[in-house]
Structure 1
Amino acid sequence: MTLFRLDGKRALVTGGSRGIGLAAAHDLVRLGARVTIAARHEQALKAAADALGARWVVADVSTQEGVTAAVQAAGEVDILVSNAGGPPPGKPSEVSEEAWQAGYDTTFLSTVRLANGVLAGMRGRQWGRIIAVTSLTVGRPSPTLPVSNAMRAAVTNYLRTLALEVASDGVTCNTVAPGYTATDRLKALNRDPGDADKLTARIPARRFGQPNEVAAAIAFLATNEAAYITGQELRVDGGWSI
């Protein structure tokens, strides 16, 4: 039997046009899955899908309409990778109610809605993988990312709780928590090159992670070989959380 293959499985990856989402979609395609990527911007999405040989759907998963469109486009989803962009930085006392609501819709409620959209089929087939991309801030909150801290912690505990309900149906629910990873978001948060040097000096691996390194963890959790792993947080952070 060939190990670590996903032939015949259908995957939906949100935020799949760039960064960690794109890298995850690449690995799932490489393992044989039929992948649909979803994002908000058509041009980047179509270019990514063409390069991957994947299907694509324009969808804003911060809305129920966007979630429904993404799930319907992907068909019978065996593997869900819920990957939302990070909320903007700010001081906790200065975050507006609108910003809290946007973070709730985009980061937390999107994962709940996506899971609800695919769970019935997964349970019926007695096989499924729900994987959410969170952050190292779940375990070590950043003083300038209060919305991300709160919403990604909520996603983590939601999936831990859901894992208890669906484990006997062959469905696993896990999160992958990247550390400082070389994505556009990291560049936006650390515009001063000196900030990057200070950060890497504090990471035991002495470098930023790469999207493909996070993607490898996601792909592993999607395989048959990971069937007994559920309700877990897999940190990919170069030793930051040790």
Structure 2
Amino acid sequence: MTLFRLDGKRALVTGGSRGIGLAAAHDLIRLGARVTLAARHEDTLKTAANAIGAQWVVADVSTPEGVAAAVTKAGDVDILVSNAGGPPPGKPSEVSEAAWQAGYDTTFLSAVRLANAVLPGMRQRQWGRIIAITSLTVGRPAPTLPVSNAMRAAVTNYLKTLALEVAPDGVTCNTVAPGYTATDRLKALHDNPADTDKLIARIPARRFGQPNEVAAAVAFLATVEAAYMTGQELLVDGGWSI
């Protein structure tokens, strides 16, 4: 028996045109899965999909229509990787109601809608993997990321609760919580070299993580071998949370 293979499985990866989402999709393909990438911007999405051998669909999963388009294109989804871009920074007391709503739709409600859309098929087939990308800030909130802190915590606890319901059906629900990872978002949030050096000095591994290191955790949770792991939050943070 060949271990850690996903031959014949279909995967949908949202936010899949770059960063952690793209790295996760690449790993799933290497394990044999057929992957569909969903994102909002066609140019970068098409380029990314062609580079790794995935199919793609332009979809804004913060809307019901976008979720429906993504799931329809992917077909019978066995593996869902729910990955949403992070809400913008700000002071908690100054976040507008519109910003809270946007974070709710993009980060939290998208995860719920996607799960609801793929679950009937997973339960019928008695096999499924629902994996959401969250953040280490679920347990250690970042002072300037109130919307992200709140919505990613909501996703984490939603999937822990859903895991209890669907475990008898062979469906697992887990989250992967990256630490400081070298993505475009990290560069945008920490663009001062002096501040970056201070941040790295606080990470026990003394470096930023790489998207492929987070992707490896996602790929493992998608495998048959991870069938007894559900309702878990898997931290990939270089020791930050110790």
Deviations 1:74-102, CA, capped at 9 Å, x for gaps: 00000000000000000000000000000
Aligned to 1:102: 102
Q: Distance in 2 between matches of 1:188 and 1:49?
A: 24
Aligned residues: 242
Aligned to 2:138: 138
| TM-score computed with the length of structure 2 as normaliser | 1.00
Aligned to 1:91: 91
Amino acid at match of 1:108: F
Aligned to 2:147: 147
| TM-score computed with the length of structure 1 as normaliser | 1.00
Deviations 1:138-160, CA, capped at 9 Å, x for gaps: 00000100000000000000000
Q: CA deviation at 1:195?
A: 1.3
Aligned to 2:119: 119
SS at match of 1:76: coil
| Identity %, equivalent residues | 87
Aligned to 1:171: 171
Matches within 5 A, 1:73-84: 73-84=73-84
Gaps of 5+ in 2: none
Q: Which portions of structure 1, spanning 4 or more consecutive aligned residues, are displaced by more than 4 angstroms?
A: none
Q: Distance in 2 between matches of 1:113 and 1:145?
A: 24
Gaps of 5+ in 1: none
Deviations 1:40-98, CA, capped at 9 Å, x for gaps: 00000000110111100000000000000000000000000000000000000000000
Aligned to 1:190: 190
Aligned to 2:61: 61
CA-atom RMSD, angstroms?
Answer: 0.3
Q: Distance in 1 between matches of 2:71 and 2:194?
A: 42
Q: Distance in 2 between matches of 1:103 and 1:179?
A: 20
Aligned to 1:235: 235
Q: CA deviation at 1:191?
A: 1.1
Amino acid at match of 2:191: R
Q: CA deviation at 1:223?
A: 0.1
Q: Distance in 2 between matches of 1:68 and 1:197?
A: 43
Q: Distance in 2 between matches of 1:222 and 1:64?
A: 25
Q: Distance in 2 between matches of 1:39 and 1:220?
A: 23
